[in-house]
Amino acid sequence: NKNFISLKQVSINNGFWSYYLKLIKDVMIPYQWEALNDRVPDAEPSHVIKNFKIAAGEIQGEFAGMVFQDSDLYKWLEAVSYSLIAYPDAELERTADEVIDLIAKVQQSDGYLNTYFTIKEPDKKWSNLKDCHELYCAGHLIEAAVAYYEATGKKKLLDVACRFADHIDPVFGPESHKKKGYPGHEEIELALIKLYKVTNNSRYLNLSKYFIDERGKKPLYFEIEAYNRGIKNIHNIWGELGKKYFQVHLPVREQTTAEGHAVRAVYLYSGMADVALETGDQSLIDACKRLWDNLTKKRMYVTGSIGSMSIGESLTFDYDLPNDTNYSETCASVGLVFFAHRMLQIDPDRQYSDVMERALYNTVISGMSLDGKKFFYVNPLEVWPEACEKNKVKSHVKYTRQPWFGCACCPPNIARLLTSLGKYIYSKKAKEVFVHLYVDSELKEKISESEVNIKQSTQYPWDEKIIIDIDSKKETEFTLSIRIPGWCKEAKVKVNNNEIDLDSVMEKGYAKINRRWKHDSLEIYLSMPVMRIKANPNVREDEGKVAIQRGPIVYCLEEVDNGKNLNNIVLPRNCEFEIKKDKDLNDVCVIETDAFREKYEDWNDELYKSDVKVSYEKTRVRFVPYFAWANRTPGEMEVWVREK
Amino acid sequence: NKNFISLKQVSINNGFWSYYLKLIKDVMIPYQWEALNDRVPDAEPSHVIKNFKIAAGEIQGEFAGMVFQDSDLYKWLEAVSYSLIAYPDAELERTADEVIDLIAKVQQSDGYLNTYFTIKEPDKKWSNLKDCHELYCAGHLIEAAVAYYEATGKKKLLDVACRFADHIDPVFGPESHKKKGYPGHEEIELALIKLYKVTNNSRYLNLSKYFIDERGKKPLYFEIEAYNRGIKNIHNIWGELGKKYFQVHLPVREQTTAEGHAVRAVYLYSGMADVALETGDQSLIDACKRLWDNLTKKRMYVTGSIGSMSIGESLTFDYDLPNDTNYSETCASVGLVFFAHRMLQIDPDRQYSDVMERALYNTVISGMSLDGKKFFYVNPLEVWPEACEKNKVKSHVKYTRQPWFGCACCPPNIARLLTSLGKYIYSKKAKEVFVHLYVDSELKEKISESEVNIKQSTQYPWDEKIIIDIDSKKETEFTLSIRIPGWCKEAKVKVNNNEIDLDSVMEKGYAKINRRWKHDSLEIYLSMPVMRIKANPNVREDEGKVAIQRGPIVYCLEEVDNGKNLNNIVLPRNCEFEIKKDKDLNDVCVIETDAFREKYEDWNDELYKSDVKVSYEKTRVRFVPYFAWANRTPGEMEVWVREK
């Protein structure tokens, strides 16, 4: 499929995101390498490199870590690959080559590759797809292999991945001697599509399609395999959340609501969209659109996070969006970006890029500290530190980012997404180039045999202005489709200083500018007043409250700026907002305004009082971008603020 | 101690509470008997009678149920005893006698009595006080025995209880061959004081005092006994909540905050207050007061419930009072009434009777349906039914009362408290009679050798007027101390139609009316306007909201009256309330007012919108007493309502 842009075509050298790309290269990738080698002092040991060395026969020892521990290394390798494209680094590449040699050494002669099963349960391969993450780890291996091949042209890991995929392929299928299985944790579906696209081997596409088509069909495979393992009461295999946790409650085309473990859900949907895009299967496209609608219009936080419940790290039901007990895993927002990006290729509609942007600028980067060394797995919208420590329904919610977890899914997921951000900015469709994200960047693309250079210069998301310079070797006709974000009420686009009548060129949220391009310049102004966001009246938890958003950035109040008891702060309906740059907080834009603090006269120590007089004391409050919270003195935080 | 009033002195024949007393006699006691005998069709089997029959050798079988299953029978028997005082019933008494014969048959020759250990682990007696509830069950046996003796004068069960207590007594003590133990679930402490008072045997007082004094001392007994059971890593014996769960984090006199499992906490504090009252131990009185203050001024719901967290059914920390994930167990409010009642004997201060009344009229009777057949264990202040079913942090919260649980602690606890309500209304101290609760009732008491009859006539809590007629055989001087409730801003008291200057006679919330009484009549008017209650500004969950209270009754909104999305209802600050009797809801007073419902123009299906215009549609809303909720069509409920 030609819609996707290769990472090599895009460079990001300045502006908001280049900070993150450098941070990942300079801090996260080296730090994560130390973590994978158990050399970070205060972090839980990963044991992943040790597992590979044990499985390769290089050292003695026992497997340790999660059953899916291998994937941490693969995700790191994927991020390294993308980073090498932007920042060639011979030493890092040598480290990667060495670790690839190690991975290859673990691969068994039949192609099988998984350290857990090789070390611990060599007789139990493919016997518990529901819980044991074999296909999940295979998926991450494939993604890493494709990325490393694209970055370096080196085929060793790709060959490993193909051999493993070729080993997996004949295990599964409709024939009676094959397993009618699919993964407990989806991931391989989307990975196989990447492998298909790089190898052109349609077996990989078909295997991915098989996993998706088979999922949720009766009799349920997870019950069959459990029975085969000797489990007699198959009802006991489902946990507290039942079949929905695994998205197997229905065949995928019959699923209409986004259910279960949030990361699994969006990985599945991404795979479904991939297969739909490759096959043109309308029933699958329709299913993707239904699931998208339910997920993003009924079950998503304003910060672009999903997963309202810590139990099962899971989705719950429509409009259930508690702010202080939610899970909102960083990985789930990474997966939401994956899903949005794929839906955009199916249907270039702003609703997808809007959500992609919301997730990226808010929860995805809230997942890491500004110094790149600490991470949130859970991204609450309201935090009372004492409650996180003392009320166990909030014990999963942290108010400071953590160094590295035993289950280190999120940090490498952030790294691999952001290092590949170049893929998400643009896409192409026949003679049309889409600009989905405003990122200071440069795209080199061939259109009608002409080299076209599209260069964005912008201080977005802080500044309203984006300049796009187009340079085409030859004068070339094509459509440049630029997204006018859904949050933007007033946009202006000038081509070579002539303002365009936007109404006449808008389609699904994109301004479609068709002309013969040579050396041309666009100026885009996206008006960025401070917005007061209300949640749908069905969202109980946000009643009487507003969230503050400017451009794509959602804001929050922190105790360090506004004192304790953020709950007593009330925002008047007519307040005026002042936007400032904050030098101490990485130059983000902060927002200040006059608000009120509720005061109660002579409250003393009573718990309840009748007919109390409330007075309102004027107070200056300061909002900081949600993604930047918890980078200073720890304390309370809230996104949804009472209004009056 | 002479402060306490015997249940035989008090009759309750009319008014609000007589309904409950009759309901318990006519419905709950027979229903619970059926349940104890596993004859209720839709309820989980109790197996308790079977356990006793097996332990007595009457039938064959295995123990089933919780390790503390015996206590369900004892609590039922206690309620039966109290009920027999008000409603003599030869058949019920015969049933009780038979069950007492059965209990006596289970008692071993050395006095030991516990069906679990007799049937299942006869070698493990007293080896796991932390988890195995032996002393807890013994406590309930003692309470039942004392109650049955007081009700019927029959000594058989009392003798059983004494023999068991005499068996327990030498097991515990400071001597090196004795266990320095105390119960994992407190209860026997307060029970032993009852046994002491009825037998005058000071060993029981001393044993209770020993359990209290020893609790929380280092080294911790629960670690010693675990070590003796062969557990090497004693840190593993503490659950998620640690030592606080058991109130052993500190010696009781050093405890300043109410911690851990809420029922255990208030049972302990009740026992502490009992011992303090009997011994006059000031350090223990001080500890009780500190714990009372923390519990009721920092950790109690407006409905008189405690336990903010379902995990561990437990207290959390100051001002942590979530309305929709709380536990607020009915039993904990029953225990809070016990604690308050005892504190009142130590210090007749309105703060104790106010809380006692708040718990009784709200959470205690919310624990049962108006027909006496279904029960709430958990008493939330806000319910969204779909969330109870689909968001697991609320899965303990039910929106309809349940028939009978395997762990059936609450229903018999409500029964034994309400059948003994007569004990809580009055108390006596030298030549002073206190009226703590306004209940249509009659007290017969001897003061200075004269028979005095004190008769309350009232439609309280619905009506503001209470008439108290005093009839003394001889003219007798004493002080009648009548509580002016803390919620009452305007009270008036007339003696024989002459208004008293209340200010001059008030002491700790009681109007102390000293005179020579013969045939006299008091009229009390407690003004009952509808009150808007605010929570302390530290209570995050109630920010911007009010609770409605009239007299002692806290109100709530229900979906059946007010439609879905109670969150959209906003109460204007100046609304006028109309009070009505509701014939369809057991003649309770309901409250109606004009409020607003937030409306959003053309919201469509978006999840978030900026700069929304909110309009306010006038709507008539109806509040019903919190205790009466969930007696009609199931739906949403909220106590704390937004105000504007």
- Give pLDDT tens digits for B50-101: 999 999 999 999 999 999 999 999 999 999 999 999 999 999 999 999 999 9
Does residue B613 have a pLDDT over 60?
yes
The predicted pLDDT at position A341 comes to 97
Contact criterion met (CB < 8 Å) for A391 and B612: no
Q: How near does any CA of chain A get to the CA of B78, in Å?
A: 34
Percent of chain B surpassing pLDDT 90: 93
Encoding tokens for residue B389?
Answer: 């079913």
Those residues whose C-beta lies under 8 Å from the C-beta of residue B632, and which sit 6 or more positions away, are: B558, B560, B585
Q: How near does any CA of chain B get to the CA of A409, in Å?
A: 23
The predicted pLDDT at position B406 comes to 66
Measure CB to CB from residue B611 to each of A317, A531, A612 and give the nearest one: A531
Q: Any idea of the CA torsion for B64, B69, B73, B79, to the nearest 10 degrees? A: -150
Window 437-466 of B: residues touching A by CB (8 A cutoff) are: none
Q: Which residue type is seen at A485?
A: P
Spell out the alpha helix ranges (H) of B329-464: 330-346, 350-358, 365-366, 385-390, 410-419, 422-425
Q: Would you call A575 an interface residue with chain B, using a CB distance cutoff of 8 Å?
A: no
The predicted pLDDT at position A94 comes to 98
Provide mean pLDDT across the span B498-506: 97
Contact criterion met (CB < 8 Å) for A534 and B605: no
The predicted pLDDT at position A2 comes to 60
Provide mean pLDDT across the span A516-530: 97
Secondary-structure breakdown of chain B: helix, strand, coil percentages, each rounded to the nearest 5: 40, 25, 35
Q: How far apart are CA A270 and CA A258, in angstroms?
A: 13
Contact criterion met (CB < 8 Å) for A603 and B565: no
List, for residues B419-477, the tens digit of each pLDDT value: 999 999 999 988 999 999 999 999 999 998 899 999 999 999 999 999 999 999 999 99
| Span of A295-309, A321-335, B603-617 with lowest mean pLDDT | B603-617
Sorting pLDDT into bands at 50, 70 and 90, what band is A50?
very high
A40 C-beta neighbours (distance < 10 Å), count? 18
Q: Is A284 left (phi over 0), alpha (psi -120 to 50) or beta?
A: alpha
The predicted pLDDT at position B235 comes to 85
Encoding tokens for residue B400?
Answer: 């309809």
Contact criterion met (CB < 8 Å) for A311 and B393: yes
User: Taking CB atoms and an 8 Å cut-off, how many pairs form between chains A and B?
Assistant: 147
List, for residues B94-110, the tens digit of each pLDDT value: 999 999 999 999 999 99
B642 and B602 Cβ atoms separated by less than 8 Å: no
The predicted pLDDT at position B409 comes to 79
The predicted pLDDT at position A433 comes to 96
Q: How near does any CA of chain B get to the CA of A124, in Å?
A: 32
Q: How far apart are CA B445 and CA B432, in angstroms?
A: 11
Does residue B355 have a pLDDT over 90?
yes
Measure CB to CB from residue A603 to each of B386, B536, B605 and give the nearest one: B536
What 8-state DSSP symbol labels residue B459? -
Percent of chain A surpassing pLDDT 90: 93
Window 169-198 of B: residues touching A by CB (8 A cutoff) are: none
Encoding tokens for residue A29?
Answer: 């990738």
Instruction: Determine the residue among B325, B350, B608 to mutate to test chain A binding: the one whose Cβ has the most chain A Cβ atoms within 10 Å.
Output: B608
The predicted pLDDT at position A150 comes to 96
Does residue B494 have a pLDDT over 90?
yes
Q: Would you call B570 an interface residue with chain A, using a CB distance cutoff of 8 Å?
A: yes
Q: Would you call B547 an interface residue with chain A, using a CB distance cutoff of 8 Å?
A: yes
Does residue B160 have a pLDDT over 70?
yes
Measure CB to CB from residue B317 to each of A308, A390, A611 and give the nearest one: A390
Active site includes B382? no
CA B338 to chain centre: 6
Q: How far apart are CA B394 and CA B380, in angstroms?
A: 10
Does residue A416 have a pLDDT over 90?
yes
CA A363 to chain centre: 8
The predicted pLDDT at position A601 comes to 78
B589 and B579 Cβ atoms separated by less than 8 Å: yes
Measure CB to CB from residue B543 to each of A241, A300, A567 and give the nearest one: A567
The predicted pLDDT at position A491 comes to 98
B527 and B484 Cβ atoms separated by less than 8 Å: no
Residue in A with minimal Cα distance to B297 = A607
Does residue B135 have a pLDDT over 60?
yes
- Judged by DSSP in three states, B3 sits in coil
Residue B172 CA neighbour count, 13 Å, CB half: 27
Instruction: Determine the residue among A305, A393, A608 to mutate to test chain B binding: the one whose Cβ has the most chain B Cβ atoms within 10 Å.
Output: A608
Chain B residues within an 8 Å CB radius of A534: 600, 608-610, 612, 614
- List C-alpha distances in Å: B517 to A283, A562, B428, B433, B494: 89, 62, 16, 12, 14
Those residues whose C-beta lies under 8 Å from the C-beta of residue B624, and which sit 6 or more positions away, are: B555, B556, B558, B561, B582, B585, B588, B590
| Span of A2-6, A142-146, A317-321 with lowest mean pLDDT | A2-6
Residue A374 CA neighbour count, 13 Å, CB half: 16
Residue in B with minimal Cα distance to A566 = B540
Q: Which residue type is seen at A184?
A: G
**What is the residue-averaged pLDDT of chain A?**
96
Q: How far apart are CA B417 and CA B424, in angstroms?
A: 9
The predicted pLDDT at position A40 comes to 87
Q: How near does any CA of chain A get to the CA of B554, in Å?
A: 12
The model's pTM is 0.95
Q: What angle is formed at CA B244 by the lines to CA B243 and CA B248, rounded to 5 degrees? A: 65
Instruction: Determine the residue among A393, A396, A555, A636 to mutate to test chain B binding: the one whose Cβ has the most chain B Cβ atoms within 10 Å.
Output: A393
Q: How far apart are CA A240 and CA A334, in angstroms?
A: 25
**What is the residue-averaged pLDDT of chain B?**
96
Q: How far apart are CA A606 and CA A609, in angstroms?
A: 7
A432 and A2 Cβ atoms separated by less than 8 Å: no
Sorting pLDDT into bands at 50, 70 and 90, what band is A604?
confident
Residue in B with minimal Cα distance to A612 = B534
Does residue B398 have a pLDDT over 60?
yes
The predicted pLDDT at position B403 comes to 83
List, for residues B181-213, the tens digit of each pLDDT value: 999 999 999 999 999 999 999 999 999 999 999
- State ipTM: 0.95
The predicted pLDDT at position A639 comes to 98
Provide mean pLDDT across the span A506-532: 97
Q: How far apart are CA B180 and CA B170, in angstroms?
A: 11
Does residue B563 have a pLDDT over 70?
yes
The predicted pLDDT at position B604 comes to 84
Active site includes B329? no
Does residue B1 have a pLDDT over 80?
no
List, for residues A107-135, the tens digit of each pLDDT value: 999 999 999 999 999 999 999 999 999 99
Sorting pLDDT into bands at 50, 70 and 90, what band is B2?
low
Measure CB to CB from residue B609 to each of A308, A534, A642 and give the nearest one: A534
The residue with greater pLDDT, A182 or A233, is A182
